[in-house]
Structure 1
Amino acid sequence: LPLLARLALPRRHAGRSARVLVLTPTRELAQQVEKSFRTYGRGLRRLKTVVLVGGMPFGPQRRDLSGPVDVIVATPGRLMDHMQQRTVSLDGIEALVLDEADRMLDMGFIDDIRAIAESLPTPRQTLLFSATLDGVVGRLALSLTHEPQRIEITSTPVQEAKIEERLMLIDGFEHKHRLLEKLISDEGVQQAVVFTATKRSAEELTERMVGWGVRAAALHGDMTQRARTRTLDRLRRGEVQVLVATDVAARGIDVAGISHVINFDPPRQAEDYVHRIGRTGRAGRSGVAITLTHPNEMRTIGAIERFTGRRLAEHVIEGLEPRAPRRPAGAGRGGFEGSRGGKPSGPRTPAPRRGEDSPRRWGDAPRGHESRQERPAAPRAYGESAPRSEFERRVRGDESERRTLGVSGERKPRSGWGNKDHHSQRDGEGWGRRRRDR
């Protein structure tokens, strides 16, 4: 609203340059922000907004920029394309907004953001929104602002949003699918979002659910923007009952009719858990969030519980009870004050965010980097068999699965272990932080 009030005033600079620039990590969020500008600014005369995102043809965007523009909402990669081709003017920018800055940095856009900021005129107002201001996000904020003011807003507790959270233990992959099928068919699901860890899993799970007779559709980063928009429109119209999505692609989804969120794969970051379950319980409605997990993944569950300050209630379905024992004592404890009395077992570093890479599409990738091919989904450690009955410490490498035996039964030497080729292979498979093309 303050930005709209600024736009109601005369321009400080002559010309056709935009006055407000908003950067977002994903296409869906960019479209949502641009729609909000049009909705709240409909009382302004001739307010012109433009969305610049990858996955859409370049020509129409160039035509939209040929006339006077007030607001540009863009993903960093596509904006850099227009800047390099000199099809966008930013000489009159009065305000820069970085929305979900932490997510943009996770996706590898820090160099693009710095380049864009350096090209903008001063003085200007800079607004940075982020779930955290620690580390690299905080340093970026300090480098882009002058005498900044920090404003913290407490998020709405999940309890107030009327979301019931459940945890269901699984034995293996087939057990997981049977549980999901039962949940979709018997839980009174109106509409649901099922989250997977990879794009390939989203596609495969969607095909399986269609085979069950479920009206399911996938949403992930390899889809063109038109396909993603069409899928979301079908979801809003009720033509899709279950949306199978990855984390980044699902950001910005706002559909009031979603009654259930099912974490088919637990999130790799505790913050993503909150974003996921926030897709339900909207507009004052109640919702259900169910997380399917194997006992080997209890460390992830513990990180979620510490982050939210709540213990996930364990549920079972009659006839589909897990063969594994219920959550062992101390497993997944959050270490927060409360009725559980859990105590932290020491600092734990969350696992790295699982990448959601996609081939370069229409200029959304960070500058100077070629998109890496998506790595195949890693096989589940427990396969189709029941997990170990005792939760002893796993030896490094899980020899029962990694060992390769020769004819005589002796272990073959690992090829390339410790040499340069081995490390190159690890890099090629996406170890470490990966840049993501959005």
Structure 2
Amino acid sequence: MKKFEGLGISTGIVKGLTELNIVTPTDIQKKVIPILLAGKTDIVAQAQTGTGKTAAYGLPLLKQIDPKLESVQGLILCPTRELAKQVAKQLFKFIKYSDKIFIEAVYGGEKIDRQISALQRPTHIIVATPGRLIDLVNKKAVDLRKVKTVVLDEADEMLSMGFKKELDEILSFVHSIDNKWLFSATIPHGIQQIISKHMSKDAVKIEVKKADVVNKNISHQYLVCDESEKLEALLLFLKSQHKNRGVVFCKTKAATQKLAKQLIAKNIAADAIHGDLLQKERDKVMRAFKNETLRILVATDVSARGIDVSGLTFVAHYQLPENDEYYTHRSGRTARAGKEGVSISFVNNAEAKTLKNYERNLGISFTKIKKTR
């Protein structure tokens, strides 16, 4: 079994990883780390959330940084503030026993002045959401001229959130780039455009086979019921899960609000996150969910982006998503870091046909669950 030392990671960093219980490299780490450590390169890697991609690009990036140079040398772009904060926090933990590398996360929904003053300290790596980074560049608060490596994390998510223009703009600012590393769960047309416009013709492509894209530790289930029986079916499922925690997905803001109220009325510790929440309110809900005051989070697809809460046992699709890529993103919230999880869909007869498409397109198989009374 190849360990991190065998991939070329220094002992100080390996010590930090071991403390985090990261001992055996995941598939994507084994494939990507040696390539990124070998020299200047552009890479397009297809990897799901929860496969260990932060370490896959983070460890080689940390190795490239020269702590003696007080300039920004690495830039990581993420779709949401949650993901940006989480990536910065993880990199910081990796370097507990190695040279001091300064990492700063900047994102919208936070006072920009505070971020500007934080960036006046020496900073080696910036983890940013695209919109906020452009604001900071326009205010001349950040100097990207010495950046050698740009990482696009969850590139397809950034695209579906409407950041294509910003990504093009950022990739055009950074001239002296040696490395562009793109990580994406799916490679839709828009990502293809970014690859052909901004990345080298001989960019290395690492494709996780379709069958590996969806986490093997997730058991996909479905239950057929009419709209009028859905709430009761969900309540019975939640009851069968005892104290287990999870995310329930709806398609619209209105549906998440309504369902959260219905669950609260049944004495279930639940709350909703959706696009209309102020950042402060969203943070409050997420804090409560992370520290386990809340058992159930009811979310829309967009609002759940970048959420990484460990120990979630299930994901429930109260309403099916718009497309199969979203199904993958939703399901990936459970069964993280080698644990097992359940992804259950509540569907009517017509929607059960959509699950057949998921099986075909995603290489997964669904088990039908019988209704219990």
Bin for the TM-score computed over the shorter chain: 0.7 to 0.9
Letter in 2 for 1:223: L
Matched, 1:3 2:61: yes
Q: Which of the numbers 91, 107, 110 marks the counterpart of 2:164?
A: 110
- The aligned residue for residue 407 of structure 1 is none
- Following superposition of structure 1 onto structure 2, how do residues 273-312 of structure 1 map, counting pairs within 5 Å? 273-312=327-366
- Following superposition of structure 1 onto structure 2, how do residues 259-270 of structure 1 map, counting pairs within 5 Å? 259-270=313-324
- The aligned residue for residue 204 of structure 2 is 149
Is there any run of 5+ residues in structure 2 with no aligned partner, and where? Answer: 1-58
| CA–CA separation in structure 1 for the residues paired with 2:121 and 2:340 | 45
Matched, 1:165 2:205: no
1:22 touches 1:72 (CA, 8 Å); kept in 2? yes
Distance verdict in 2 for CA 1:261–1:123, change over 3 Å:
closer
1:192 touches 1:259 (CA, 8 Å); kept in 2? yes
Matched, 1:42 2:100: no
- Between the aligned residues of both structures, percent identity stands at 33
Q: Which of the numbers 230, 235, 249 marks the counterpart of 1:181?
A: 235
Distance verdict in 2 for CA 1:91–1:157, change over 3 Å:
closer
Classify the secondary structure of the residue corresponding to 1:240. Answer: coil
Deviation of 1:69 (Å): 1.0
Matched, 1:243 2:292: no
1:26 touches 1:249 (CA, 8 Å); kept in 2? no
Q: Which of the numbers 106, 118, 122 marks the counterpart of 1:64?
A: 118
Matched, 1:314 2:345: no
- Following superposition of structure 1 onto structure 2, how do residues 24-423 of structure 1 map, counting pairs within 5 Å? 24-146=78-200, 147-154=202-209, 156=212, 160-161=216-217, 163-172=218-227, 174-319=228-373
Classify the secondary structure of the residue corresponding to 2:267. Answer: coil
Classify the secondary structure of the residue corresponding to 2:277. Answer: coil
| CA–CA separation in structure 1 for the residues paired with 2:177 and 2:295 | 49
Q: Judging by fraction of residues, say which structure has more strand.
A: 2
Distance verdict in 2 for CA 1:300–1:189, change over 3 Å:
farther
| CA–CA separation in structure 1 for the residues paired with 2:177 and 2:223 | 54
- The aligned residue for residue 357 of structure 1 is none
Deviation of 1:265 (Å): 0.8
Deviation of 1:181 (Å): 1.8
| CA–CA separation in structure 1 for the residues paired with 2:305 and 2:159 | 15
2:149 touches 2:177 (CA, 8 Å); kept in 1? no
Q: Deviations for 1:235-260, whole angstroms, at most 9, x for unmatched residues?
A: 23221111111223323333332222
Aligned residue-pair number: 313
2:147 touches 2:177 (CA, 8 Å); kept in 1? no
Distance verdict in 2 for CA 1:123–1:166, change over 3 Å:
closer
| CA–CA separation in structure 1 for the residues paired with 2:342 and 2:168 | 40
1:49 touches 1:69 (CA, 8 Å); kept in 2? yes
1:268 touches 1:300 (CA, 8 Å); kept in 2? no
| CA–CA separation in structure 1 for the residues paired with 2:183 and 2:215 | 24
Q: Deviations for 1:394-434, whole angstroms, at most 9, x for unmatched residues?
A: xxxxxxxxxxxxxxxxxxxxxxxxxxxxxxxxxxxxxxxxx
| CA–CA separation in structure 2 for the residues paired with 1:221 and 1:123 | 35
| CA–CA separation in structure 1 for the residues paired with 2:372 and 2:187 | 45
Deviation of 1:156 (Å): 4.1
2:67 touches 2:99 (CA, 8 Å); kept in 1? no
2:256 touches 2:300 (CA, 8 Å); kept in 1? yes
Letter in 1 for 2:329: H
| CA–CA separation in structure 1 for the residues paired with 2:303 and 2:347 | 22
Distance verdict in 2 for CA 1:171–1:297, change over 3 Å:
same
2:253 touches 2:274 (CA, 8 Å); kept in 1? yes
Classify the secondary structure of the residue corresponding to 1:105. Answer: helix
Deviation of 1:159 (Å): 7.0
Deviation of 1:82 (Å): 1.4
Classify the secondary structure of the residue corresponding to 1:273. Answer: helix
| CA–CA separation in structure 2 for the residues paired with 1:30 and 1:267 | 25
1:170 touches 1:293 (CA, 8 Å); kept in 2? yes
Q: Judging by fraction of residues, say which structure has more helix.
A: 2
Distance verdict in 2 for CA 1:134–1:274, change over 3 Å:
closer
Deviation of 1:158 (Å): 5.5
Deviation of 1:127 (Å): 0.8
2:185 touches 2:213 (CA, 8 Å); kept in 1? no
